[in-house]
Amino acid sequence: MDILEKIKQAGLVGRGGAGFLVAKKWSAVKDAAGDPSASSPRPELGTKAGQVKKYVVCNAAEGEPGLVKDSYILEHHADKVIDGMKIAINFLSVGSEKNKPAVKGYIFLNHAYNKKLNKKLAALLKDSAIEIFIKPIESGYIGGEESAVLNAIEGRRIEPRLKPPFPVTHGLWGFPTLVNNVETFYNVNLVNSDQYKNNRFYDIAGDCPNEGVYELPADLTIEKVLKETKNYPKFPFFAQVGGDMAGEVLSSRQLKGPATGAGSITVFSLAKNNYKKIITGWLDFFADESCGQCTPCREGTYRLREVFMEEKIDWVLFNDLLDNLADASFCALGGSVVVPIRSFMKNVLPEMEAKK
């Protein structure tokens, strides 16, 4: 059974947060022509016709507060991650004798991780077609979006690209590019050696005693995950799942489903937090981290903060600005601004207000 079939059967989904089917992405890159001169939206690249190149990028940007699992995986399983990348490179390298794609790999590494991981990774990457690209310090949260990653590597302004075309057909320098998260490549390694057990990594943090990264079955409910790691609070609480900024906020009664997105669970004590502080924290983050490309996010997040700071909040306008972010943002990160705020207000705020 070839690797693609194995990935399909394992039902692997991307662990960067979006949960895209891994097999689908891999096929798309494999099927892409690999010759940007044919239909490139960026003809200035001026690549010679017929030159077939493809790229594999391991996204270790991990720019969202609350997430450290990629760092953890690279620290403990770097060999498996790199093997996963090599499997992808081999998979994409297959072609006819005349038309064999040259495949190169990059690890897009969070600059904060570079210091402790560089030596180790460099040793593992020796004589391979993979190199480390250190995520520029100023690239921030947006620098983890997959097309922004490509811009960073190309030396362009770090912000998402207009899609379509998608990176799978027009990625780095216009060539088909496979961008997967650290955990995804780790899983590919497991799938390949028939060791994949449908586990995933959970970042657990916040008002709980045993903060840390845990590898547990992916279908566990959030509640179970908290209990098994001895983190389930005895006090009234709520949780944010899938990132401390863009993750969904759930009340303690809503934890009967599995964790979605990037697999982080942050516990908040209901008594210790107030809504003004929490929402301001998110708005500050999103306004500061907006790349500035589109109106709903650049202007919208700034105005949301402005409206929210007013003594008398114009909730109609506040909601309109959120709707606009969800509906009309340039990239998914703009759309995700809405998630924590709306889910918090719906799932937690009434309870929080009632307790007062």
Partner 1 sequence: MQIKKSKISNGVKINLDGKEIICQSGKTIMQVAKENGVIIPGLCRHDDFPAKANCRICVVEISPSTALRTSPSAGSPRPDFVVSAQSNELGTKAGQAAKLVTSCSTEVVDGMIIRTDTARVKKSRNLNIELIFAEHIERCPTCIRRFNCALLELADKYKIEITAFKDRKGKRKIYKFANAVEIDGTQCIDCRNCLDACNNLQKINFLELRGKGIEQEIVPATEGNGFPFIGKRRKKVDCIYCGQCSLYCPVTAAQEQAHWQLVEKDLKNKSKVLVAQFAPSIRVSIGEGFGVPGGKVMTGQVVAALKELGFNYVFDVNFGADITTIVEAEELLARVKSGQGGPMFTSCCPAWIKYVEFFRPDLIPNLTTARSPQIHSAGIIKTYWAEKLKINPKNIVVVSIMPCTAKKFEAGRKELKISGHYPIDYVITTRELIWLIKKNKINFAGLEPLPADNPLGLASGAAAIYGASGGVMESALRTAEYLMQTAQDAVCRDLDKEGKPRVKFCDSKIEFKAVRGLAGVRRAELAMGDKKLRVAVVNGIGNVKPVLDNLKDYDYIEVMACPDGCIGGGGQPIPTTAAIRKTRLAALYKIDGSSKIRRAHENSQAVEVLSWLKNKGKLENKVLLTKYKKRS
Residues that bind partner 1 (CB under 8 A): 41, 44, 140, 142, 155, 157, 159, 162, 287-296, 298-303, 306, 320-321, 323-324, 327-330
Cβ 299 to partner 1, closest distance in Å? 4
99 C-beta neighbours (distance < 10 Å), count: 11
Measured CA to CA, the distance from residue 164 to residue 283 in angstroms comes to: 29
Cβ 117 to partner 1, closest distance in Å? 26
Cβ 2 to partner 1, closest distance in Å? 32
Measured CA to CA, the distance from residue 215 to residue 199 in angstroms comes to: 6
What is the residue whose two structure tokens read 């943090």? 205
What's the Rg (C-alpha) of the chain?
Answer: 21
The residue among 237 and 330 lying less far from partner 1, judged by its C-beta, is 330
Cβ 296 to partner 1, closest distance in Å? 6
Cβ 260 to partner 1, closest distance in Å? 18
Burial 228-259 (b: 16+ CB within 10 A, else e): ebebbbeeebbbbbbbbbbbbbbbbebbeebb
- The DSSP secondary structure of 180-210, one letter per residue, reads EEHHHHHHHHHHHTT---SEEEEEEEESSS-
Measured CA to CA, the distance from residue 328 to residue 186 in angstroms comes to: 34
The residue among 133 and 232 lying less far from partner 1, judged by its C-beta, is 133
Written in H, E and C, the secondary structure of 98-151 is CCCCEEEEEEEECHHHHHHHHHHHHHHHCCCCEEEEECCHHHCCHHHCHHHHHH
The residue among 160 and 261 lying less far from partner 1, judged by its C-beta, is 160
- Pick the closest to residue 337 from 296, 292, 277 (CA basis): 296
Cβ 304 to partner 1, closest distance in Å? 11
Angle at 131 between CA 125 and CA 136, to 5 degrees: 135
Strand locations in the chain (E): 53-60, 102-109, 130-134, 177-181, 199-206, 212-217, 237-241, 248-251, 264-269
The residue among 157 and 346 lying less far from partner 1, judged by its C-beta, is 157
The residue among 155 and 209 lying less far from partner 1, judged by its C-beta, is 155
The residue among 229 and 293 lying less far from partner 1, judged by its C-beta, is 293
Cβ 323 to partner 1, closest distance in Å? 7
The residue among 26 and 330 lying less far from partner 1, judged by its C-beta, is 330
Cβ 285 to partner 1, closest distance in Å? 11
The residue among 44 and 127 lying less far from partner 1, judged by its C-beta, is 44
Are the C-beta atoms of residues 199 and 33 closer than 8 Å to each other? no
The residue among 83 and 159 lying less far from partner 1, judged by its C-beta, is 159
Cβ 303 to partner 1, closest distance in Å? 6
Measured CA to CA, the distance from residue 73 to residue 43 in angstroms comes to: 38
- Give the pairing type, strands 264-269 and 199-206: parallel
Measured CA to CA, the distance from residue 224 to residue 229 in angstroms comes to: 8
